[in-house]
Amino acid sequence: KVPRHLFLDAGLDHLAYLDRPLPIGAKQTISQPFTVAMQTHLLGLKRFDKVLEIGTGCGYQTAILAQMGMRVFSIERQKSLFMIAQKNLTALGYHAPLLFYGDGFAGLPKFAPFKGILVTCAAPEVPAKLLEQLAIGGKMVVPLGVESQKMVVIEKRGENEFVTTEHGEYKFVPMLE
C-alpha cells in the first residue's frame, strides 16, 4: 500500500520495485524492500505500539510503520533528507508520524519508553542511550558493525536484562552523530 516509487527521484522510479537499495541523496540510500520487511517483522509490533525510528531517510520505512498503525517517532541526521521525508509523508497523507531533525544516538528520551526501536543505519556498537529508552518487553532492531553488519534484535526483559539474537548479514550506510 505504500508506493515506493514516490519516495525516489523521478529518474529512479522505474527501479523502485526491484529488491535493491537505491540512492536518495546526502550519500544515503533507501533500503531494499526485503530489508524493510525483515526489520519491520523483527520488531514484532502491533497496531498502536509506539516505535522510534533512527534514520528517517526519505520517509519510506516511516510510512510503512505508519501504514501498519504504529505511533511513529523518527529522527533524521541529514537536514536535506529530513525535509524530503516531511514533504513525502505529507504528500501521501501521513500526518501522524512525528519527525525530528537531530542525533539518532541520543534518541528521544522525553517521548520514551518505546515498544520498538528500529535503527535503519549501521551502528558501530549498541547505542546505550537507545537501550535506556526501550520499554520492558520491547525490542530494538539494529544492524551492528562497520564494514558489514549483523542484524541484531535486542529484547528488554527487565530493567537491566536484555536478550540478543542475530538475524543475518546486511550492508547499511553508517549511523552519523
User: Which residues does the annotation mark as catalytic?
Assistant: 31
Residue-by-residue DSSP string for 87-99 = HHHHHTT--SSEE
Q: Which of 52, 56, 106, 63 is nearest to 81 (CA)?
A: 56
- What gap in Å lies between CA 27 and CA 98, rounded to an integer? 24
Kindly state the DSSP code that residue 122 receives in the 8-state scheme: B
- What gap in Å lies between CA 15 and CA 103, rounded to an integer? 30
Residues 6+ away with beta carbon under 8 Å from 40: 61, 64, 65, 68, 118
Handedness of CA 9, 74, 119, 177 (dihedral sign): positive
Q: Which three cell numbers stand for residue 102?
A: 537531530
Q: Are 61 and 36 in contact (CB under 8 A)?
A: yes
